[in-house]
C-alpha cells in the first residue's frame, strides 16, 4: 500500500502545474473589485479583513516553479508534522 | 470552498471554532493512538496527497473553478476522525503559508471540508461496502455534503448587515446553495468520486 501511494503522490506532484491552467477563481473566493462590480459595493467586513501575510501568497501567483515549490513545501511540511507526531510518542 | 478572512461574522467565527475545537482535540487523540511506524507513512502521504489534490483547480462552465479534497479517501482507509484531523492540518498549512482560506474561517472550513466530508464519505462507504463503486459514491457524497455545509455558512452571512448592506459575505442561501452545491453535484463531486475510486482500488488491489 505504501509504495503505491508514493507512486500516486509522485505522479500527481509532477502534474501539479495543470492546476494553474484555470484562470477562474473558485466561487466566492473573488478579489474585492468583483463585489464592487456584482453588487455595487464591497461589504465592510470583506474590505477591512485582517489577515496575516502568508509566506507564499496564492501558491506563487501563477509561476510554475513556485507552484512546484509550493507543492513540495506544503506536502513536505504536512508529512513532516506527522513524522514528528509519531516520534513524539516515544 | 476555502472561505477567506472577512467573509464571516464574528459570531460565526466564534461558534465554528467553539464546535471545531473539542472535535480537533478528540480527533487528535484518536490520531495519536494509531500513529506508529506503520501508519505514519500512510497517513502522512495521504495528507500530503490531499494537499496536492487541492492544487488541481478545475475550471467549469460559468467562470468558476474548484477542486477535489481527498478526505473521503483517508476516512474510508482509516476512519473519519483521522480524515477530519489530517485534512484540518492541511487546511491550517494552506491558510498560514499560502493564504488559501482565512485563519478566522479555519473552524468553518475544517468543519465543512474536513469534518462533514470525512463523516459523510465514511458512512456512505460503510453503507455500500460490498458494492464495487462504493468509493466513487462515498467521494461524491463527501464533496457534495461539504459544499452544502459551506454554502449554508456563507448563505446566512447577509443576516449581519448595516443600513441594508451586508457586512460580510453578501449572497444568501438562494444563491450559495445552487452555486456551490450545484457545481459539486455536477463537477467537483464527480472528480472527488473518480479520484477516491481510482486510488482506493489501486492501493487495495491484490498483486
Cross-strand bridge partners of residue B58: B66
Task: Domain B10-204: give its CATH code.
Answer: 1.10.1760.20
Tell me, yes or no, if A30 comes closer than 8 A to chain B by beta carbon: no
Mutate to test the interface with A, among B34, B60, B65 (most CBs of A within 10 A): B65
The residue with greater pLDDT, B164 or B184, is B184
**How close is the nearest chain B Cα to the Cα of A5, in Å?**
7
Residue with cell 509519531: A86
Tell me, yes or no, if A49 comes closer than 8 A to chain B by beta carbon: yes
Inter-chain touch B168–A16, beta carbons under 8 Å: no
Residue B85 has pLDDT above 90, yes or no: yes
Question: B196 near B139, Cβ under 8 Å?
Answer: yes
Tell me, yes or no, if A37 comes closer than 8 A to chain B by beta carbon: no
CA of B112: how far to CAs of A62, B19, B146, B151, B156, in Å?
A: 27, 12, 5, 9, 15
Model pLDDT for residues A18-71, shown as the tens digit of each residue: 999 887 889 989 989 999 999 999 999 999 988 788 999 989 988 999 999 999
Sequence spans of domains, chain A: 2-87
**How close is the nearest chain B Cα to the Cα of A11, in Å?**
11
Judged by DSSP in three states, B59 sits in strand
Residue with cell 462533514: B116
Mutate to test the interface with A, among B34, B74, B96, B98 (most CBs of A within 10 A): B98
Question: A26 near B22, Cβ under 8 Å?
Answer: no
Question: What pLDDT score was predicted for residue A51?
Answer: 78
Grid coordinates representing A15 are 502534474
Model pLDDT for residues B104-159, shown as the tens digit of each residue: 999 999 999 999 999 999 999 999 987 999 999 999 999 999 999 999 999 999 99
What is this structure's pTM? 0.95
Grid coordinates representing B73 are 479517501
Inter-chain touch B48–A9, beta carbons under 8 Å: yes
Please give the Cα distance from A88 to B190 (Å, whole number). Answer: 39
User: Is residue B187 very low, low, confident or very high in pLDDT (cuts 50, 70, 90)?
Assistant: very high
Inter-chain touch B49–A86, beta carbons under 8 Å: no
**Burial class of residue A2 in the structure, from the number of CB atoms within 10 Å of its CB (0-12 exposed, 13-18 middle, 19+ buried):** exposed
Question: B57 near B65, Cβ under 8 Å?
Answer: yes
* ipTM for this model: 0.94
Inter-chain touch B66–A27, beta carbons under 8 Å: yes
User: Is residue B46 very low, low, confident or very high in pLDDT (cuts 50, 70, 90)?
Assistant: very high
Sequence spans of domains, chain B: 10-204
Amino acid at each position: 500500500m505504501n509504495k503505491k501511494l508514493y507512486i500516486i503522490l509522485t505522479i500527481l506532484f509532477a502534474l501539479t502545474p495543470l492546476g494553474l491552467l484555470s484562470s477562474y477563481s473558485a466561487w466566492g473566493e473573488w478579489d474585492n473589485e468583483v463585489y464592487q462590480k456584482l453588487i455595487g459595493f464591497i461589504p465592510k467586513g470583506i474590505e477591512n479583513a485582517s489577515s496575516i501575510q502568508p509566506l507564499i501568497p496564492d501558491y506563487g501567483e501563477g509561476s510554475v516553479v513556485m507552484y512546484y515549490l509550493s507543492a513540495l513545501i506544503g506536502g513536505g511540511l504536512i508529512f513532516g508534522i506527522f513524522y514528528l507526531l509519531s516520534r513524539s510518542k516515544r | 470552498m476555502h472561505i477567506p478572512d472577512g467573509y464571516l461574522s464574528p459570531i460565526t467565527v466564534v461558534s465554528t471554532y467553539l464546535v471545531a475545537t473539542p472535535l480537533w482535540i478528540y480527533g487528535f487523540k484518536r490520531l495519536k493512538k494509531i500513529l506508529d511506524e506503520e501508519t505514519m507513512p500512510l497517513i502522512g502521504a495521504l495528507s500530503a496527497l490531499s494537499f496536492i489534490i487541492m492544487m488541481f483547480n478545475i475550471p467549469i462552465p460559468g467562470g468558476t473553478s474548484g477542486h477535489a479534497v481527498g478526505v473521503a479517501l483517508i476516512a474510508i482507509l482509516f476512519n473519519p476522525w483521522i480524515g477530519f484531523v489530517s485534512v484540518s492540518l492541511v487546511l491550517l498549512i494552506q491558510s498560514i503559508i499560502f493564504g488559501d482560506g482565512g485563519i478566522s474561517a479555519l473552524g468553518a472550513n475544517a468543519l465543512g471540508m474536513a469534518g462533514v466530508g470525512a463523516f459523510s464519505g465514511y458512512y456512505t462507504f460503510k453503507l455500500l461496502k460490498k458494492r464495487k463503486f462504493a468509493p466513487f459514491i462515498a467521494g461524491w457524497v463527501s464533496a457534495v455534503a461539504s459544499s452544502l455545509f459551506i454554502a449554508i455558512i456563507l448563505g446566512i452571512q447577509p443576516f449581519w448587515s448595516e443600513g441594508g448592506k451586508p457586512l460580510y459575505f453578501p449572497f444568501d442561501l438562494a444563491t450559495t446553495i445552487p452555486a456551490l452545491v450545484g457545481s459539486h453535484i455536477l463537477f467537483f463531486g464527480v472528480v472527488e468520486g473518480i479520484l477516491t475510486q481510482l486510488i482506493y482500488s489501486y492501493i487495495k488491489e491484490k498483486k
